[in-house]
């Protein structure tokens, strides 16, 4: 069955993300990639106090969503529904989310903030996971939401180096989404020329 953007479901509610992004306290499923990691750590201390606090708040919300993504991938990995060929890729993507969560937490500390911690329990619609394709659609929705979240986050940072890092994270999320689209039998390119 071909999935359209409107009928997909994801681990993280996209509407909630967009609403929070519009408010300066954004929700982002973040994945920091190598180029952004050093930038996040090195540039964090250069912001003024007010700007640093605002940037730390954005990063902390991203960290919360990142930790939720790690948990979501764990649910998929433990579902018993992934084939031996698919499960290692899902775990690799989960590893990206873990690395980015660590990076975000470090940047928050450098900005003088206290990183949020993972929740004890997340509410995922696990009753909808009946086959491998369901798990992959979950993951695709997660990555699609992260692309949208980072697209909205890039202009919000006071420290432009953090914007650059968020843009690199966006690229990683887009690659994950493309992989899942291809595995689901969909064209790996996004459905439109521009993301919103």
Residue-level pLDDT at 169: 81
The values of phi and psi at residue 60, to 5°, are -70, -40
Residue-level pLDDT at 132: 96
> Distance between CA 28 and CA 149 in Å, rounded?
5
The values of phi and psi at residue 81, to 5°, are -100, -15
Based on the number of CB atoms within 10 Å of its own CB, is 103 exposed (0-12), middle (13-18) or buried (19 or more)? buried
Half-sphere exposure of 129 (CA within 13 A, CB side): 20
Separation in Å, CA 4 to CA 8, 55, 106? 6, 34, 37
> Regarding predicted confidence, which is higher, 152 or 33?
152
Sequential DSSP letters for 36-63: HHHHHHHHGGGS-HHHHHHHHHHHHHHH
Q: Per mean pLDDT, which range of 90-94, 124-128, 137-141, 190-194 is the poorest?
A: 190-194
pLDDT over 60 (residue 22): no
Domains of the chain with CATH codes: 29-183 (1.20.1260.10)
> Distance between CA 81 and CA 75 in Å, rounded?
10
Residue-level pLDDT at 48: 64
Per-range mean pLDDT, top range of 77-81, 168-172, 177-181, 191-195: 77-81
> Distance between CA 77 and CA 33 in Å, rounded?
22
pLDDT over 60 (residue 12): no
Question: For residues 76-89, b (16+ Cβ closer than 10 Å) or e, as one string?
Answer: bbebebbeeebbeb
How sure is the predictor about 91, in pLDDT bands with cuts at 50, 70 and 90? very high
């Amino acid at each position: 069955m071909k999935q359209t953007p409107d009928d997909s479901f994801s681990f993280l509610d996209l509407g909630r993300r967009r609403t929070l992004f519009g408010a300066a306290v954004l929700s982002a499923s973040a994945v920091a990639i190598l180029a952004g990691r050093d930038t996040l750590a090195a540039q964090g201390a250069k912001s003024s106090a007010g700007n640093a606090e605002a940037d730390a708040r954005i990063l902390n919300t991203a960290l919360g969503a990142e930790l939720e993504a790690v948990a979501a991938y764990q649910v998929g990995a433990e579902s018993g529904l992934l084939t031996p060929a698919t499960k290692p890729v899902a775990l690799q993507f989960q590893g990206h989310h873990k690395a980015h969560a660590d990076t975000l937490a470090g940047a928050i500390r450098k900005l003088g903030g206290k990183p949020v911690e993972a929740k004890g329990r997340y509410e995922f619609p696990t009753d909808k996971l009946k086959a491998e394709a369901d798990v992959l659609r979950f993951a695709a929705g997660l990555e699609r939401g992260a692309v949208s979240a980072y697209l909205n986050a890039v202009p919000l940072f006071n420290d432009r180096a953090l914007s650059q890092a968020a843009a690199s994270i966006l690229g990683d999320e887009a690659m994950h989404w493309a992989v899942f689209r291809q595995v689901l039998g969909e064209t790996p390119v996004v459905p439109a020329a521009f993301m919103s």
